[in-house]
Amino acid sequence: MLNFLLRRTVFMFVALFAVSIISFFIINLPKGDYVTAYIAQLQATGSLVDADEAANLRKFYGLDRPLYIQYMKWIWQVIAEQNLGFSFEYNQPVTVVIAERLLLTIILAIATVIFIWIFAIPIGIISAVKQYSIWDYLFTFLGFIGLAIPDFMIALIMMYLFFVWFDFSPGGLFSPEYAQAAWSWGRVKDLMEHMYLPIVVLGTAGTASLIRITRANLLDELAKPYVVTARAKGLSEWKVIAKYPVRIALNPAISLTAYILPFLISGSVIVGVVLSLPTVGPMLVKALVAQDMYLGGGIILLIGFMTVIGTFISDLLLLWIDPRIRFEGD
């Protein structure tokens, strides 16, 4: 088991290093740089920037150096100083720019994962145990609907219904009086009152997917000989289902957690724009459009970090639930 954890820890650092390289160089693939985008904005307003001024700006921001030098300087700041760099667009350190947005994104992602697990696993179990019943058909139909409709479309539909039925626009995570206020119990309460719509919108596809996975895996387990033997020995139906088949059927569901967290962060980009959410998704779009490489690279690196952490957490849960993995790790 210790060897398994050590291998996973080493894999985490290797994966993060690879993500940092790929994200930094992909952001710099488009022609030009931040100064090019900045000059284009000035020219759109009628201002002119000569070549000498553009060269001075590139020298000031360090964009005149080779790309690998820029990367080495950035990654050294990340490792040695826990500094994600300086945002050209906001003229502030990246950590300062994304601090509150990242906190809200993580809170929203964790709440959405809890929502997915609370609804998807029991529904998947019921759908498998009551196979071909009216409940199975109903949950299957709703699952396909949840998978087929994009999150941003669900957001638009729900915003329209809230506005028509309740004369209320549910955008954002805070009321206007708490949007820029300091953290307090009143602001936390206001956040909780505004989180239900983003949670439902972001969690719909994940819930539908997890229902189908749980149902399919549990049906496979219920058809195996050990379940027939347990029933033949007189165990109650609930004990037969809950003690072994459900635990084994949850393995893929737990593995799915590794991909839910980064999906909720990166997948909330369009939903964040539609619902006006103060999360990192809309900020990532703005950073990429402005070619703010340190802000964009920092956000992508954090998304990769969430992926790695999610994978590590799912591995620990699998070690706890399934003894076979512990023996294989040894």
| Residue 275 CB-half CA count within 13 A | 31
SS3 87: strand
Q: How many domains does the chain have?
A: 2
Judge if 194 and 128 occupy the same domain: yes
The reply to whether 233 falls in a domain is yes
For residue 30, being part of any structural domain is answered with: yes
Comparing CA positions, the residue from 83, 8, 91, 41 lying closest to residue 297 is 83
Mean pLDDT of 61-86: 81
CATH number where 209 lies:
1.10.3720.10
88 and 112 share a domain? no
How many Å apart are CA 147 and CA 127, to the nearest integer?
17
| Band (293; pLDDT cuts 50, 70, 90) | confident
Residues 130 and 193 in one domain: yes
Q: In this structure, are 63 and 124 located in the same domain?
A: no
* Rounded Cα distance, 258 and 270, in Å: 21
| Banded pLDDT at 63 (limits 50, 70, 90) | confident
For the cut 80, the answer to whether the pLDDT of residue 36 exceeds it is: no
pTM for this model (two decimals): 0.80
Residue 301 lies in a domain: no
| Average of per-residue pLDDT across 156-180 | 82
DSSP 173-231: SS-GGGTTSPP-HHHHHHHHHHSHHHHHHHHHHHHHHHHHHHHHHHHHHHTSHHHHHHH
123 and 215 inside one domain:
yes
Q: Tell me: do 124 and 198 sit in the same domain.
A: yes
pLDDT greater than 60 at residue 165: yes
- Same domain, residue pair 31 and 120: no
pLDDT digits (tens, 9 = 90+) for 222-248: 888 888 888 888 888 888 888 788 888
Residue 239 forms part of a structural domain: yes
Question: In this predicted model, what pLDDT tens digit does every residue of 112-121 receive, in sequence order?
Answer: 888 988 999 8
Which stretch of 37-41, 74-78, 115-119 has the lowest confidence by average pLDDT? Answer: 37-41
Residue 88 has pLDDT above 80, yes or no: no
If asked whether residues 161 and 36 sit together in one domain, one would say no
Of the three residues 92, 122, 152, the one that is the final residue of a domain is 92
Pair (130, 212) in one structural domain: yes
Q: Which domain holds residue 87?
A: 2-92
Residue 328: inside a domain, yes or no?
A: no
Q: Which tops the pLDDT comparison, 256 or 165? A: 165
In this prediction, residue 264 carries a pLDDT of 67
Domain boundary among 63, 92, 121: 92
Residues 179-208: what's their mean pLDDT? 87
Q: Which of 72, 92, 112 is the last residue before a domain boundary?
A: 92
Q: What's the confidence (pLDDT) of residue 137?
A: 93
